[in-house]
Amino acid sequence: MAEALPLGSTIGILGGGQLGRMLSLAASRLGFKTHIYCPDPDSPAFEVTPHKTVAPYDNEAALLAFAEASDVVTYEFENVPASTAGFLHGPALLRPFHSVLSVSQDRLAEKAFIAERGIPVAPHWAIRSLDDIAPALRALGSPAIMKTTRLGYDGKGQRKVATVEEAKAAFTELKPSPFVLEGLVPFAREISVILARGVDGSTAVFDAAENVHRDGILHTSTVPANISAETAALAVDHATKIASHLQYVGVLGVEFFVLADGSLLVNEIAPRVHNSGHWTEAVCVTDQFEQHIRAIAGWPLGDPTRLADVVMENLIGDEIAAIPGRLAVGIRPQAYGKAESRPGRKMGHLNHITPKTPGK
Ligand code: AMP
């Protein structure tokens, strides 16, 4: 067993959104302190810990002080600038290791990394110039989906295109370039697998969740997913293989498309706790937030066993205002404490808990 951080150690978290907030709460429960680093003074994570740095991600003096204050540093979002993570490597103990970001921040690098390990990904084509569009669309079929290779999230930075003209318009209007054009996958459903990998290489995997998106944003995650035992085992196998090839430490989310025959394509990976794992806080012995903290602290991983069935429902924009009126039996709420509600902004979630289906 690698050296475990003692109680009272400080976990540094880059990013101050809801994931940082929930990580901080879980860390406190285990007896750790957390220090949040985020440029935005209104970050929801600042509400739950007194230790914070409000500074840009390229402020080296602030980063150094943050590294000195932290016994281990982790991320709550994958778009931490590579230069920031690179600068912190050395002054800080970074978990997961910063090289993971170079894979997960670039859709093309990510797909290549996964495909090279023999795991199927969606058919795709790199679009670096306008000349790439016509052959790519011919090869992939129409419609297809044009995506920025970097900085996309919650359906942002991507557009469905049916013709070369539409793809060219997307090329000039979406930011930043370059792009990847993906064939439209005729999936039967979408699932995700959240797993934790410890410093010693041990893994703990949560049950697969079935995910439904609305306007490109996750709407619900339902567990158990409506998939066969074989498909579930294959998803766990793929996710475990990806984590081990990345020498990963922490919680990793892997999103899959499930085809009609039960086979799987990896859509994307997220090197952090994941929205489609928020159900774990309501129904698992150890939730994804505690699991991430345990992993990066060098502690033994917890028990991911699920004790009930659950549907996690995201509350987007003004839907958050309904929380007080929706607290029926079996509902566990989580509000992120964001000062301002905007359309498309994740404001909180509800976990709808029901008795466990026997055998599932
Ligand atoms: P992404 O940001 O790549 O995870 O895409 C967000 C959502 O768009 C996915 O969860 C799918 O619902 C849909 N989507 C993305 N790429 C594809 C694809 N190649 N084929 C079909 N649907 C897709």
What residues does 348 pair with on adjacent strands? Answer: 315, 335
Give SS3 for 81. coil
Q: How confident is the model at residue 241 (pLDDT cuts 50, 70, 90)?
A: very high
Residue 117 reports pLDDT greater than 60: yes
Give the tens place of pLDDT for each residue, 150-175.
887 767 889 999 999 999 999 999 88
Q: What separation in Å is there between the alpha carbon of 258 and the centre of ligand 1?
A: 12
- Band (130; pLDDT cuts 50, 70, 90): very high
The minimum-distance atom of ligand 1 relative to the CA of 153 is 2
Residue with CA at minimum distance from ligand 1 atom 19: 184
3-state SS, residue 318 = helix
| 71 C-alpha to ligand 1 centroid (Å) | 37
CA of 219 to the centre of ligand 1 (A): 13
Find the angle CA(155)-CA(256)-CA(17) to the nearest 5 degrees: 45
- Separation of CA 62 from chain center: 26
Q: Report how far apart, in Å, the C-alpha atoms of 141 and of each of 119, 157, 179, 266 are.
A: 22, 21, 17, 19
Instruction: Tokens for 78, please give them.
Output: 């994958």
More confident residue, 82 or 27: 27
Q: Counting atoms of ligand 1 from 1, which one is nearest the CA of 187?
A: 21
| pLDDT > 90 in the chain, percent | 88
Separation of CA 152 and ligand 1 centre (Å): 11
Q: Please check the confidence at residue 274 and state whether its pLDDT lies above 90.
A: yes
Q: What is d(CA 305, CA 83) in angstroms, rounded to the nearest whole number?
A: 38
Distance 333 CA to ligand 1 centre (A): 27
Average pLDDT, the chain: 95
Q: Which run of H or of E encompasses 133?
A: helix 133-140
| Residue owning the nearest CA to atom 1 of ligand 1 | 155
Report DSSP letters for 40-61, one per residue. -TT-GGGGG-SEEE---TT-HH
- The predicted pLDDT at position 79 comes to 87
Least Cα distance to 13 among 200, 28, 1 occurs for 28
Residue type (1 letter), 205: V
User: Residues 110-119: contacts with CB within 8 Å, 24+ apart?
Assistant: 110/268, 110/269, 111/180, 113/245, 114/242, 114/266, 114/269, 117/241, 117/242, 117/245, 119/238, 119/241, 119/242, 119/266
Q: Which residues pair with 354 in a beta bridge?
A: 309
Ligand 1 centroid distance, CA of 329 (Å): 34
Distance 276 CA to ligand 1 centre (A): 14
Instruction: Provide the CA 51 distance to its chain's centre, in angstroms.
Output: 24
Decide if pLDDT at 278 tops 80: yes
Ligand 1 atom having least distance to the Cα of 213: 12
Beta-bridge mates of residue 180: 126, 147
Query: 3-class SS at 337?
Result: coil
Percentage of the chain modeled with pLDDT above 70: 99
Name which residue sits closest to atom 13 of ligand 1, judged by CA: 216
Q: Is 1 a residue whose pLDDT tops 60?
A: no
Task: Give the pLDDT confidence score for residue 177 in this predicted structure.
Answer: 80
Each residue of 201-234: pLDDT tens digit?
Answer: 999 999 999 999 998 899 999 999 999 999 999 9
Distance spanning both ends of the chain, measured CA to CA = 33
Confidence of residue 2 (pLDDT cuts 50, 70, 90): low
Ligand 1 pocket by C-beta < 6 Å: which residues?
122, 145, 152, 155, 182, 184-185, 190, 213, 216, 255, 267-268
Mutate to test the pocket of ligand 1, among 267, 269, 274 (most ligand atoms within 8 A of CB): 267
Please name the amino acid found at residue 184: L
**Euclidean distance between CA atoms 159 and 171, whole angstroms:** 10
| Atom number, ligand 1, closest to the C-alpha of residue 218 | 10
Q: How far is the CA of 205 from the centre of ligand 1 (A)?
A: 23
How many other C-beta atoms can be found within 10 angstroms of the C-beta atom of residue 84? 20
Residues 61-104 pLDDT 10s = 999 999 999 999 999 998 899 899 999 999 999 999 988 998 98
Please indicate whether residue 81 or residue 292 has the higher confidence score (pLDDT).
292
Strands 309-316 and 10-14, sheet pairing: unpaired
Distance 194 CA to ligand 1 centre (A): 18
- Whether the Cβ atoms of residue 88 and residue 22 lie closer than 8 Å to each other: no
pLDDT at residue 128 above 50? yes
What are the tens digits of pLDDT across the range 324-335? 998 888 999 999
CA dist 35 and 161 (Å) reads 43
Which ranges in 163-297 belong to alpha helices (H)? Answer: 164-173, 229-245, 280-283, 288-296
Quote the ligand 1 centre to 274 CA distance (angstroms). Answer: 16
**Residue closest by Cα to atom 5 of ligand 1:** 155
**What confidence score (pLDDT) does residue 360 get?**
86
Could you give the CA distance from residue 122 to residue 155 in angstroms, rounded to a whole number? 16
State the pLDDT confidence band at 318, using cuts at 50, 70 and 90.
Answer: very high
Mutation to probe ligand 1, out of 145, 156, 189 (largest number of atoms < 8 A from CB): 145
Whether the pLDDT of residue 194 is over 90: the answer is yes
Q: What is the pLDDT of residue 176?
A: 86
